[in-house]
Homo-oligomer: A and B are copies of this chain.
């Protein structure tokens, strides 16, 4: 098994360290923003000397973009394949459920993405203009078909997507406010299920759809691993 080849498991160290750095970077960037985060702070959190960060990612900008890239990959997977033959209520409910689940399992990813957009999206303008716009177009096409065939109220599909994004991401982005106002330390499983049910109830009913039976989600992600599973 263990031959005498020079490099045992090549690139394994690099891979491991890059993950450690990315994880530390995500936390610092959420706490202080891109400009407000020092490479030293990331290094301290990662338990590595500052020079190693530059060795692996060359500069702060590259590191930030690497973190954002991971997040956009996550976002792209939501509601991937739907068609106008699907049931509107089922699809919308699943959309809401998945997004609430993501807010619970990857709160920091959601927060960092939100901060980037609030500040004017200087690093992901192009992503929004291309990939994200394509994603929205493909979904609105299906929603429009549902409306035309009288399956749901004539709600502008783009704004319906905004509504689902905003209500679900709110529980990740405004976590501090939500938990403080509810006098709670952290979310629990039951909270997530109740939030999903409540949002689904209002939005589906508000769109003129039948509110479906409660469905136990098949996959339940664990909280806060965020970057690097």
Contacts and interface: CB of A to CB of B under 8 A. Distances in A.
Given A165-B170, A206-B206, A128 B181 contact: yes
Most buried by B among A31, A165, A166, A201: A166
Contacts of A35: 32-33, 35-37
Contacts of A162: 167, 170-171, 174, 178
B202 A163 contact: yes
Given A33-B32, A34-B36, A206-B205, A170 B166 contact: yes
Contact of A125 (B30, B180, B201, B206): B180
A185 interface: no
Give how many copies assemble into the complex. 2
A149 interface: no
Interface string A193-205: 0110011011111
A181 B158 contact: yes
Interface residues of A, number: 57
Nearest to A177: B117
Interface string A84-109: 00000000000000000000000000
A114 B35 CA distance: 17
Interface in A157-188: 158-160, 162-163, 165-167, 169-171, 173-174, 176-178, 180-183
Given A117-B173, A162-B178, 13 more contacts: A30-B118, A31-B119, A32-B34, A32-B35, A115-B118, A117-B174, A118-B118, A133-B181, A155-B201, A158-B182, A166-B174, A167-B167, A205-B208
What are the 9 closest A-B residue pairs judged by CB atoms, nearest first?
A35-B36, A202-B206, A206-B206, A33-B33, A36-B36, A166-B170, A166-B166, A32-B35, A205-B206
